[in-house]
Amino acid sequence: MTTPNNELRVKASGVDIAGLRKSYGSNEVLKGIDLTVKPGEVVCLIGPSGSGKSTLLRCVNLLEQPNGGTIHVAGFETTDPEVNLDKMRQNVGMVFQQFNLFPHLTVLENCTVAQLKVLKRSKNDAEKTARENLERVGLGDFGGRYPDQLSGGQQQRVAIARALSMEPTLMLFDEPTSALDPETVGEVLSIMKNLAKSGMTMLVVTHEMSFAKEVADRVVFMDGGVVVEEGKAVEVIGNPQQPRTQDFLRRVLDPTHVDI
């Protein structure tokens, strides 16, 4: 049964971005982005390298400081100078391209350290939660291993279990399969599909078009720091309306095609 507190957490799990701008010196990377992710929705950001996708994602939990606009996430206005960042980030899990695991800690320790230090959980409670999430990603028997004893796909699954162990209401994924061997991409995407089915709110930067088409509720195509096209996944990927989107998808879906 859902408790009132959990209901409030679920209702506060969405993202609302208005007029987001981000510059690095004279280079304006984000040029007034408006984007909403509803609670329980999966939104995939696609587009060429340098289009601003990852920067947008990093602005959501203030790993990058925006130069303008507002962001509301998990019930917090992250662009408010008075925002409690620690509290906000407890509600937001993020999985990066690189796994960022602590090499000197075991898999179980990697999944408990933040629980102990940030959430102040007891060791028993932290380990119980970590083991449940390692089981969830198919690594229930790997708690005693170290990161260098795992494949890339396994390390990324540990990174997902670590993020889930903080019990976030929102998950951010920044090209989580880009550093993986092609043979291990599927195991990570499978975990993400199951997360989506569970109702987790997700904002995903990806080049995996089949994943976006199958799992996303909406797809947002970005280029040059702006949103060029957005809509239902099957429509944007299957029948894009904007010439720039059409050109991008033609190159991605048919990489051997050469215009003559």
What is the DSSP track for 193-219?
HHHHHTT-EEEEE-S-HHHHHHH-SEE
Which pair of tokens denotes residue 124? Answer: 């028993």
C-beta of residue 54 within 8 angstroms of C-beta of residue 205:
yes
Q: Residue type for 54, please?
A: S
Give the dihedral sign, CA 232/189/17/68: negative
Distance between CA atoms of residues 17 and 116, nearest Å: 32
Q: Each residue's pLDDT tens digit in the chain (260 positions)?
A: 333 344 434 445 799 999 999 999 999 999 999 999 999 999 999 999 999 999 999 999 899 999 999 999 988 899 898 989 888 888 999 999 888 899 999 999 999 999 999 999 999 999 999 999 999 999 999 999 999 999 999 999 999 999 999 999 999 999 999 888 888 898 899 999 999 999 999 999 999 999 999 999 999 999 999 999 999 999 999 999 999 999 999 988 876 655 55
Q: Residue type for 122, please?
A: S
Q: Residue type for 141, please?
A: D
pTM score, whole prediction:
0.91
C-beta of residue 206 within 8 angstroms of C-beta of residue 32:
no
